[in-house]
Amino acid sequence: MEYEIIALDVDGTLTNSHKEITPATRNALIEAQLQGKKVIVASGRHQFGLRDIANTLQLDRFGGCIMAFNGGRVEDAATGEVLSASYFPKKYIKAVYDTVKDADITVITYEGDTLIMNEKVNDYSFIESKILGMDYKQVDNFVEYVDFDINKMLLVGEPAVINEYEKIFIRRFKGYFDVFKSCPFFLEVMPFGVNKGACMPKVLERMGFCSEQLIACGDSYNDMTMISYAGLGVCMGNGEQDVKRIADVIADTNDNDGVAKIVRRYMLRKNAQTA
């Protein structure tokens, strides 16, 4: 069976260390789409931070998808239609906040195209704002302010602190919501059962594919579910060791066009048309 669709994490996978899609990666993905292959951009990012990437890869032209918030929101790149959305239970927002209120952790969520964060600031607090190109707003009473639907909460702090609280959350709230690191200083807090792998079957069904036709590429813990689910699970050469252990293939690094090499090896036919 041929690989017909590829799901790509963004940071550390599709983009290099400068948060750029290299020409080699872009050209390989455009070439694949010209041959009828499909692309899903699958990230923990807000959809606002994925649309420029989708435009760069011409997903609207070729019928690709944007999977934001680790699968918490899926959009058709051509129409902007929301194909699925999952929301964090409001009744647990206070529990999350209270658990970290004495720690040096910034709590973040999203209101429209603005990041909402609590009053605590550390060395990592504003990275998400810079990555997404979104404005931020600090609020004094986070729990009281967030009275609207949210897709996820993001906890930001020193890697050692994030590691400690990942264990606390898993122990204390298992079965209520899911937590996993998207990088050493980001802890994602998601609705229970919402992750990249869990939402992939519905997306593939809608697009007319099955898991055996899917390549999934990632580098971090929040990519593990889709890497395990895919017909070909790929961890980047710069990826976490735990992710490499469950992958079928280890790619080159994100700074050495690892995604482009995977696409050319496993998806492209010879004598391909170029963009």
* Beta carbons within 10 angstroms of residue 45's beta carbon: 23
Q: Which pairing describes strands 153-156 and 186-191: parallel, antiparallel, or unpaired?
A: antiparallel
Domains detected in the chain: 5-85+194-266 (3.40.50.1000), 90-191 (3.30.1240.10)
Return the pLDDT at 273.
43
Global pTM value = 0.87
Q: Which pairing describes strands 38-42 and 73-76: parallel, antiparallel, or unpaired?
A: unpaired
Q: What percent of the chain has pLDDT over 90?
A: 93
Return the pLDDT at 162.
97
pLDDT at 3 over 90: yes
In what helix (H) or strand (E) does residue 98 lie, and over which residues does it extend?
Answer: helix 93-100
Classify residue 76 as exposed, middle or buried by CB count within 10 Å of its CB (0-12, 13-18, 19+).
middle
Place of tokens 């967030």: 146
Q: Which pairing describes strands 73-76 and 114-117: parallel, antiparallel, or unpaired?
A: unpaired
Cα gap 254→256, rounded to integer Å: 5
What mean pLDDT is reported for the chain?
94
Q: What is the pLDDT of residues 136-178, one digit of tens each?
A: 999 999 999 999 999 999 999 999 999 999 999 999 999 999 9
Q: What percent of the chain has pLDDT over 70?
A: 98
Q: What is the pLDDT of residues 59-116, one digit of tens each?
A: 999 999 999 999 999 999 999 899 999 999 999 999 999 999 999 999 999 999 999 9
Cα gap 219→217, rounded to integer Å: 7
- Contact by Cβ (8 Å): 40, 64: yes
- Contact by Cβ (8 Å): 79, 46: no
Return the pLDDT at 275.
37
